[in-house]
Amino acid sequence: MKNKAVLGIDIGGSGIKGAPVNIKTGMLLEDRHRIPTPNPSTPENVAKTIKELVKHFKWNGAIGCGFPAVVQNGIIKTAANIDKSWINTDAAGLFSKVTKLPVYVLNDADAAGLAEVKLGAGKGFKGAIVVMTIGTGIGSSLFIKGRLYPNTEIGHLEFRGKDAEMYASDAARKKEDLDWKDWGKRLNEYLGYIEFLFWPEMIILGGGASKKLDLFKDQFNLKAKIVPAHFLNEAGIIGAAMAAKVNLKKL
């Protein structure tokens, strides 16, 4: 894998998007292409969508794929915002079989975090960092001195008697028709709880909502430094590509 380019793919609850990435700089080498997440989002249907992305880019090389679940050795262990039939599915094996290409799969928020900590908003920061992706759900990744603790599920902590992402995600904002100010207060409450539990020195906010940070950041009163994701909604694509380069380096 001497080539610096890897196809990064970010599987979300509403869309599957990807682009070839220069893993040294984080630059997308072609325009991002997005395909709606199939309904039902079964392994077979998602695999077909991955194959469509590969065909769109005429890709013939390594692939890194961020997935909205706990992922251990390429195997899906949870399914909060994806079809339940994914549990215990070998996603890496399935995608490799369908595309006939080497594929590395990791948690989507871990992928976004890797991009931000190595090349983005957290580059060079040596303290404790929590990266939160705020979208359909709430993803999280935790870093100490630049090293990832994988598969944290901070978005699924119980908060105010329910799953936290049901209270503070962007989907919750839309469902309850909250304005940015009121939703920002909710997010501040939730991030305050995260701060109480983990004491991060920096919180990086990514996902779709990160593009609107100016509309709700005045509601925050946290001790940690709050910064928007440098790569915004492309962090998952970039980080997935970076992870594939490292973990498929023997190919």
Residue 2 has pLDDT above 70, yes or no: no
Could you tell me the pLDDT band of residue 74, with boundaries at 50, 70 and 90? very high
How high is the pLDDT of residue 209? 81
Specify the CATH number for 122-229; select among 3.30.160.270, 3.40.50.720, 3.30.420.40, 2.60.40.10: 3.30.420.40
Residue-wise pLDDT for 146-201, tens only, equals 999 999 989 899 999 999 999 999 999 999 999 999 999 999 999 999 999 999 99
How far apart are alpha carbons 13 and 6 in whole angstroms? 23
Strand 71-72 to strand 75-76: parallel, antiparallel, or no bridges (unpaired)? Answer: antiparallel
Q: Among residues of the chain, what percentage have pLDDT more than 90?
A: 86
Residue 44, phi-psi category: left (phi > 0), alpha (psi -120 to 50), beta (remainder): alpha
The answer as to CATH 3.30.420.40 being correct for domain 5-110+234-247 is yes
Mean per-residue pLDDT over the chain, rounded = 93
Could you tell me the pLDDT band of residue 210, with boundaries at 50, 70 and 90? confident
Residue 250 has pLDDT above 60, yes or no: no
Q: Among residues of the chain, what percentage have pLDDT more than 70?
A: 98
Residue-wise pLDDT for 106-155, tens only, equals 999 999 999 999 999 999 998 999 999 898 889 899 999 999 999 998 98
Q: What is the dihedral of CA 47, 86, 16, 190, to 10 degrees?
A: -170
Residue-wise pLDDT for 37-67, tens only, equals 999 999 999 999 999 999 999 999 999 999 9
The boundaries of every CATH 3.30.420.40 domain in the chain are: 5-110+234-247, 122-229
